[in-house]
Chain A
Amino acid sequence: MTTESGADSEAKQQQQESTETQKENPQAAELALSQNPPEQLPPAVGHSTPARKEQEQQEDQSSHQSSTSRLSRSPLKGAKKVKIMQCKVTLLDGSDYTLNVEKRVKGQVLFDKVCDHLNLLEKDYFGITYRDLENQKNWLDPSKDLKRQIRTLPWNFAFNVKFYPPDPSQLTEDITRYYLCLQLRDDVVSGRLPCSFATHTVLGSYTVQSELGDYDPEELGSDYISELRFAPNQTKELEEKVMELHKTYKGMTPAEAEIHFLENAKKLSMYGVDLHHAKDSEGVEIMLGVCASGLLIYRDRLRINRFAWPKILKISYKRNNFYIKIRPGEFEQFESTIGFKLPNHRAAKRLWKVCVEHHTFFRLVSPEVPPKKFLSLGSKFRYSGRTQAQTRRASSLIIRPAPLFERSASKRYTMSRSLDGAPITENHETLMKDSDGARGDIITTVTTEKKAEEEKAEQEDAKETTDTAATVTLRQETKDTEPPTEMVKHQTNISELKRSFLETDGAVPGLTEWERRLSSSPACEAPMIEPLNLQDNEDKMPVGDEKKEEAKATEAAGNLLNCAADFNVLTDGAPVHELQAISPSTAMDDDVFEDGTPRQAQKKTPDSQEEFSEKSLAKLSPGSVREEVSQAIIDKRGMLIILKEAEDREEDKEHLQTVIKARSTSVKEIEAVMEDMCQIKAAGSPKKAMASWVSEVVKAEESEVFSVLSEEMKTIEEPRHKVDAVQEQSETNEAQITLPETTPLAVSTHGWVSSFTSQKTSVGPEQKAGVAVEADAAPADCVHPDEDTVCAKEMPVIHTETKTITYESSAGDMNGDADPGVLLSAQTITSETTSTTTTTHITKTVKGGVSETRIEKRIVITGDPDIDHDEALAQAIKEAKEQHPDMSVTKVVVHKETEITPEEGED
């Protein structure tokens, strides 16, 4: 299974072949197109507001005059025939839930309805499956129309766990764990999750305790246990052992029993592993297992290889082949691509999607921006739900009292049927046999490509993505939790970092070169005992090293910080020069221990504000808001907040680097703090609120860091931060501080950083969304710094959820030129109507004799739940094109913000 080097020619051949593939498969490409008519922007609506689906639907359905084909099918126009479909969803307890939905709705609507029915808030771990014509299980894509996915009648679905949390104890609610338990019980009984006899007894005993309560021979009778199912082949002996254990659990609550169940189940080696049949390059039957940590390769029961996500650079499929591109090992020079043959094209695509989703969910901090929109064909599929990191943050905000729910003596354990309707054959052994013969032709195995060719190859890959061949370059955001290490290499790595920065070619939107998994060499007490570096950490990328060191250093600092009695949150905003000179830990220490008393530090804020006043569209002074907020918090909790501003006055990239590092530093630090704080969240006290706030800040920082790191990254998903900081304070029962801390940072290849501060103090109780369209017009090779949408409203309220989607034409690609250019003029024009604010921002710069005019249009739509944002967006793009026919639209940023009402929803 390991990779072997092939000749370069092989690599080229393969590329060629793939281009041909594209031509050979026009029908597949058509299919992709028909699902996504040109001009139509993907509905961002579907999955952005978990708790507001009713309203969302409404919004979805109430589109006005539409300029896109999809919108023209909206019910207002075609109200005469709204088709209602009956859906039957098999739930995790084996019961069926029947509901009606409109035929044209998206998967999200069905999913939300089911979650509502189940009273489930932490729903990101779950999904809905359906069977396709080949009776294969598919995940329902929430962002796509139901009717385009399920093509058989009747509409039967199943509700299932999609992402198995590696640590279920971190789930917020018992009800979520309960559903996870139900899924796992089925996994065990169906044989998908193999376990030993001893494990069957242990899991079975907790199941009994959770479902039936304490052992009570009088009430339960002596044979109560055989009514339940614990194992694929249940024996009397097993039942007796289960009963023996059950007797010892007196007094254990169902929720406790479930926690014990999960603590044991999560250790099983096949926990959360999604298996797919395949053949390796030699035609040997293998299984590919997708899980939280990466891709596992099995031959029979044996694990014969493992590719952790950080080890995988790219995943793709083409016809019935599935490919992974592997990062070169420590001593290897070349990347290698490994191919697997799947039974058919659909299976390859299914595997590819599952990989994309798992990688995003478990590995990234935020979902990837969908691929370039305007000009490329191919699968635009990306996981667009929340990542684990996001869902954890979101669920830390859940404040409802633990819902009461009935653990019904589940019906299905007396039946031997699998809950999702899967025939029992879907267990490990039989799976191996039912895969069809893959025509015996051998797949292209291993190709190696010279590094220098890689970028070209990637560009080509990007072009060749049709629906039969899709590629995802894996972004490697860092969520490392490795222990601290030395920070000696800190200085030397700056130059490496810089070099890599300059080398990065901005063709791929995935940030790949930059977000490499960080290497580590954690310290250990016993001098000669070195921790094994897991493979994923071994392939040292200069950048990774650098960041890692930072992370380590700051984790250490963070730990120190945690010793302080108060929750001191430091987002370091130290000036560039400071940070260049000192090691991060020193810097952190200084900040942390400067004094233990609360203080407000607003380093840099005024500067930055002034420098960018001409560009800043912020309606509120961020500084003042921040000051207020921090003041408020200080009043309440003795909180120390130092918020960071973007640093831009230097064009020198090295400085930029330092800023980046400062930022990643603080990210890590905050994470460290946050971890501690989360542990402390004993009750739904202000502490808890603070913890979630901090996590929001982290998010902000991270997105900034990564955007700076990526040269071609032009937009920052603007994070919004909401805190219910003072919710529990007696004097402010209703008041909630919505804390903005955002400094979206955008970098152009010109080498300067523009900073926009967006502030949002609150959101109205009604739906609110902003759509910003930036119509950048420029010579194709020019690059633009982009800013983010700014919305500012003052209303009492709640949480919001935001979503930013960026569409870019490839014309906007960067050229890596460090020349900043000369700014000739800049003007901003603002016009307002009742619901929209349009801001046009025109910048003229001269760079090397070429003048560049750039127009950004920013349209903020607020307040109206009735507005169809997709339509408004399409309209705006159209207008922009009409107004400036000589210019091209290089980028569209949709920034959507909707509120979340945790539990007092009207529905």
Chain B
Amino acid sequence: MAAGLMAGFGHYTHAIVRGIPASLASEALRSIQAEVDVTKARREHDAYVHALRTTLGLQVVELPADETMPDCVFVEDAAVVCGDTALITRPGAESRRRETEAMKAALKELNLNVVEMTDESATLDGGDVLFTGREFFVGLSKRTNQRGAEILADAFKDYAVSTVPVMEGLHLKSFCSMGGPGLIIIGSSEPAQKALKIMQQMSDHRYDKLTVPDDLAANCIYMNLSNKGHVLLHCTPEEFPESAKMFEKLKDHMLIPLSNMEKVKVDGALTCCSVLLNKKADN
């Protein structure tokens, strides 16, 4: 059998998630003031985990919530996993730095090759990292800086790592995500479209795009599972009726709408709540 690199974009076997602490309601960071109902948020999160575990059959590693880390449910920011390498980030928000500890332990437990970001001048949130299957785009945002992107490039040497300024929104993935191999889902706001332009220019590869009216709706989770085929977890019609319709155009995808009305109040999107990885049977 021939080994191949960079194959299997969207193939996942495991997901790491984390519970929601009660402190999320009042203490989690947010860009707009909003009242968060923790009970509702937990219900949403349960549905999310249920979809991963039951509907899609992934092995879900659930880390316990920590009341001292109000944002800890957004595990995506704590690590970037690609292939069998996991980069433990240094989140841009100081209050979130300790979130990486539990994540690091979990990834080591899964036998991944763990790389840490020790440079104290570097910051990186996983939410700023868009992996397309062929290359990385790293948003330079309030949370992620050049040095953080450099360390990411060092950790994943096979791939081109291009930087994209994030003018608005929290993270790069606040307005885009992958919807399939070579398919970028992008919001229609001007900053989103500008960022897309930059990505196009920087890339040697061609991408299709699916433009959705709402930026937040552009944050979806794509998977390619052996028994399910293309899977897309996306927003519900209740939240974004126009955008939700757009996903129906993806005829080949198994579509799973997930409500995110509470978590979005603290800038949490769908991708934020899990770290997905692929552990082959032979490892």
How far apart sit A305 and B163, CA to CA, in the bound complex (Å)? 9
User: Which residue in chain B gives the minimum CB-CB distance to A252?
Assistant: B2
Question: B150 at interface (Cβ–Cβ under 8 A)?
Answer: yes
Known interface pairs A197-B113, A248-B1; A529-B208 also in contact (CB < 8 Å): yes
User: Which residue in chain A gives the minimum CB-CB distance to B156?
Assistant: A196
> For B5, what are the chain A residues with a Cβ–Cβ distance below 8 Å?
198-199, 202, 264, 267
- Quick check: which of B32-40, B195-203, B233-241, B260-268 contacts chain A, the rest being far away? B195-203
Interface string of A188-230 (1 = CB under 8 A from B): 0000001111110010010000000000000000000000000
> For B162, what are the chain A residues with a Cβ–Cβ distance below 8 Å?
302-304, 306
CB distance from B278 to the nearest CB of A (A): 12
Asked whether B153 lies within 8 Å of A527 as measured between CB atoms, the reply is no
Interface string of B240-270 (1 = CB under 8 A from A): 0000001001110000000000000000000
User: Which residue in chain B gives the minimum CB-CB distance to A193?
Assistant: B157
Asked whether B210 lies within 8 Å of A202 as measured between CB atoms, the reply is no
> For B154, what are the chain A residues with a Cβ–Cβ distance below 8 Å?
301
User: Which residue in chain A gives the minimum CB-CB distance to B151?
Assistant: A301
> For B209, what are the chain A residues with a Cβ–Cβ distance below 8 Å?
529-532
Asked whether A526 lies within 8 Å of B251 as measured between CB atoms, the reply is yes
> For B207, what are the chain A residues with a Cβ–Cβ distance below 8 Å?
531-532
Q: Which residues of chain A from 16 to 33 have a CB within 8 Å of any chain B CB?
A: none
Asked whether B153 lies within 8 Å of A300 as measured between CB atoms, the reply is yes
Asked whether A528 lies within 8 Å of B161 as measured between CB atoms, the reply is no
Known interface pairs A198-B84, A245-B3, A532-B184; A526-B200 also in contact (CB < 8 Å): no
> For A197, what are the chain B residues with a Cβ–Cβ distance below 8 Å?
85, 113
Question: A442 at interface (Cβ–Cβ under 8 A)?
Answer: no
Asked whether A524 lies within 8 Å of B163 as measured between CB atoms, the reply is no
Known interface pairs A195-B158, A263-B4, A269-B135; A303-B208 also in contact (CB < 8 Å): no
Asked whether B197 lies within 8 Å of A535 as measured between CB atoms, the reply is yes
> For A527, what are the chain B residues with a Cβ–Cβ distance below 8 Å?
249
From A199, A252, A305, A532, B196 is in contact (CB under 8 Å) with A532
User: Which residue in chain B gives the minimum CB-CB distance to A201?
Assistant: B3
Question: A62 at interface (Cβ–Cβ under 8 A)?
Answer: no
How far apart sit A252 and B1, CA to CA, in the bound complex (Å)? 9
> For B161, what are the chain A residues with a Cβ–Cβ distance below 8 Å?
269, 301-303
Q: Which residues of chain A from 172 to 202 have a CB within 8 Å of any chain B CB?
A: 194-199, 202
Interface string of B173-212 (1 = CB under 8 A from A): 0000000000110000000000011001111101111110
Known interface pairs A301-B154, A305-B202, A534-B200; A529-B183 also in contact (CB < 8 Å): yes
Asked whether B210 lies within 8 Å of A528 as measured between CB atoms, the reply is yes
> For A269, what are the chain B residues with a Cβ–Cβ distance below 8 Å?
135, 158-161
Q: Which residues of chain A from 268 to 307 have a CB within 8 Å of any chain B CB?
A: 268-269, 293, 299-306
Known interface pairs A300-B153, A301-B153; A306-B211 also in contact (CB < 8 Å): no
CB distance from B281 to the nearest CB of A (A): 14
Asked whether B163 lies within 8 Å of A304 as measured between CB atoms, the reply is yes
Question: B149 at interface (Cβ–Cβ under 8 A)?
Answer: yes
> For A194, what are the chain B residues with a Cβ–Cβ distance below 8 Å?
157
CB distance from A199 to the nearest CB of B (A): 5
User: Which residue in chain B gives the minimum CB-CB distance to A200?
Assistant: B157
- Scoring B153, B197, B204 by chain A CB atoms within 10 A of each residue's CB, the highest score goes to B204
Asked whether A528 lies within 8 Å of B158 as measured between CB atoms, the reply is no
How far apart sit A264 and B200, CA to CA, in the bound complex (Å)? 23
- Scoring A195, A196, A202, A267 by chain B CB atoms within 10 A of each residue's CB, the highest score goes to A196
Question: B83 at interface (Cβ–Cβ under 8 A)?
Answer: yes
CB distance from B203 to the nearest CB of A (A): 7
> For B3, what are the chain A residues with a Cβ–Cβ distance below 8 Å?
202, 205, 245, 248, 260, 264
Asked whether A526 lies within 8 Å of B150 as measured between CB atoms, the reply is no
Asked whether B203 lies within 8 Å of A196 as measured between CB atoms, the reply is no
Known interface pairs A199-B5, A260-B2; A531-B83 also in contact (CB < 8 Å): no
Q: Which residues of chain B from 140 to 175 have a CB within 8 Å of any chain A CB?
A: 146, 149-150, 153-154, 156-163
Question: A533 at interface (Cβ–Cβ under 8 A)?
Answer: yes
How far apart sit A199 and B7, CA to CA, in the bound complex (Å)? 12
How far apart sit A442 and B251, CA to CA, in the bound complex (Å)? 54
Asked whether B202 lies within 8 Å of A526 as measured between CB atoms, the reply is no
Interface SS of chain B: mixed
Asked whether B85 lies within 8 Å of A302 as measured between CB atoms, the reply is no
How far apart sit A531 and B135, CA to CA, in the bound complex (Å)? 17
User: Which residue in chain A gives the minimum CB-CB distance to B204?
Assistant: A293
How far apart sit A267 and B207, CA to CA, in the bound complex (Å)? 16
Question: B105 at interface (Cβ–Cβ under 8 A)?
Answer: no
CB distance from A290 to the nearest CB of B (A): 13
CB distance from B47 to the nearest CB of A (A): 27
Q: Which residues of chain A from 497 to 550 have a CB within 8 Å of any chain B CB?
A: 524, 526-535, 538
Question: B93 at interface (Cβ–Cβ under 8 A)?
Answer: no
Asked whether A302 lies within 8 Å of B157 as measured between CB atoms, the reply is no
How far apart sit A687 and B84, CA to CA, in the bound complex (Å)? 46
CB distance from B255 to the nearest CB of A (A): 13
CB distance from A313 to the nearest CB of B (A): 16
> For A264, what are the chain B residues with a Cβ–Cβ distance below 8 Å?
3-6
> For B157, what are the chain A residues with a Cβ–Cβ distance below 8 Å?
194-196, 199, 301
Interface string of A242-270 (1 = CB under 8 A from B): 00010011001000000010011001110
> For A305, what are the chain B residues with a Cβ–Cβ distance below 8 Å?
201-202
User: Which residue in chain B gives the minimum CB-CB distance to A304?
Assistant: B163
> For B183, what are the chain A residues with a Cβ–Cβ distance below 8 Å?
529
Asked whether B150 lies within 8 Å of A528 as measured between CB atoms, the reply is no
CB distance from A552 to the nearest CB of B (A): 15
How far apart sit A202 and B4, CA to CA, in the bound complex (Å)? 7
User: Which residue in chain A gives the minimum CB-CB distance to B113?
Assistant: A197
> For B203, what are the chain A residues with a Cβ–Cβ distance below 8 Å?
306, 534
CB distance from B85 to the nearest CB of A (A): 7
CB distance from A22 to the nearest CB of B (A): 34
Asked whether B85 lies within 8 Å of A196 as measured between CB atoms, the reply is yes
How far apart sit A199 and B203, CA to CA, in the bound complex (Å)? 21
How far apart sit A400 and B83, CA to CA, in the bound complex (Å)? 42
How far apart sit A869 and B145, CA to CA, in the bound complex (Å)? 62
> For B85, what are the chain A residues with a Cβ–Cβ distance below 8 Å?
196-198
How far apart sit A524 and B162, CA to CA, in the bound complex (Å)? 26
> For A531, what are the chain B residues with a Cβ–Cβ distance below 8 Å?
206-209
> For A301, what are the chain B residues with a Cβ–Cβ distance below 8 Å?
150, 153-154, 157, 161
How far apart sit A421 and B45, CA to CA, in the bound complex (Å)? 59
CB distance from B12 to the nearest CB of A (A): 17
Q: Which residues of chain B from 208 to 243 have a CB within 8 Å of any chain A CB?
A: 208-211
Asked whether B211 lies within 8 Å of A534 as measured between CB atoms, the reply is no
Asked whether A267 lies within 8 Å of B2 as measured between CB atoms, the reply is no
How far apart sit A370 and B196, CA to CA, in the bound complex (Å)? 39
Asked whether A199 lies within 8 Å of B158 as measured between CB atoms, the reply is yes
- Scoring A199, A249, A524, A528 by chain B CB atoms within 10 A of each residue's CB, the highest score goes to A528
Asked whether A524 lies within 8 Å of B208 as measured between CB atoms, the reply is yes
> For B210, what are the chain A residues with a Cβ–Cβ distance below 8 Å?
526, 528-529
> For A538, what are the chain B residues with a Cβ–Cβ distance below 8 Å?
200
Asked whether A303 lies within 8 Å of B158 as measured between CB atoms, the reply is no
Asked whether B158 lies within 8 Å of A532 as measured between CB atoms, the reply is no
> For B113, what are the chain A residues with a Cβ–Cβ distance below 8 Å?
197
> For B1, what are the chain A residues with a Cβ–Cβ distance below 8 Å?
248
How far apart sit A230 and B183, CA to CA, in the bound complex (Å)? 35
How far apart sit A194 and B159, CA to CA, in the bound complex (Å)? 9
Q: Show 23 A/B contacts (Cβ-Cβ < 8 Å), sorted by A.
A: A195-B158, A196-B85, A198-B5, A202-B5, A248-B3, A260-B2, A268-B158, A269-B158, A300-B153, A302-B138, A302-B161, A303-B202, A524-B208, A526-B210, A526-B250, A528-B211, A529-B208, A529-B249, A530-B209, A531-B207, A534-B203, A535-B197, A538-B200
Taking Cβ atoms with an 8 Å cutoff, the residues of B that contact A are 1-6, 83-85, 113, 134-135, 138, 146, 149-150, 153-154, 156-163, 183-184, 196-197, 200-204, 206-211, 246, 249-251
10 closest A-B pairs by beta carbon, nearest first, are: A269-B160, A301-B153, A535-B201, A194-B157, A303-B162, A526-B249, A532-B207, A531-B208, A202-B3, A300-B150
Q: A269-B161, A301-B157, A532-B196 given. 13 additional CB < 8 A pairs?
A: A195-B157, A195-B158, A264-B6, A303-B161, A303-B162, A303-B202, A306-B201, A306-B202, A529-B209, A530-B208, A531-B206, A535-B200, A535-B201
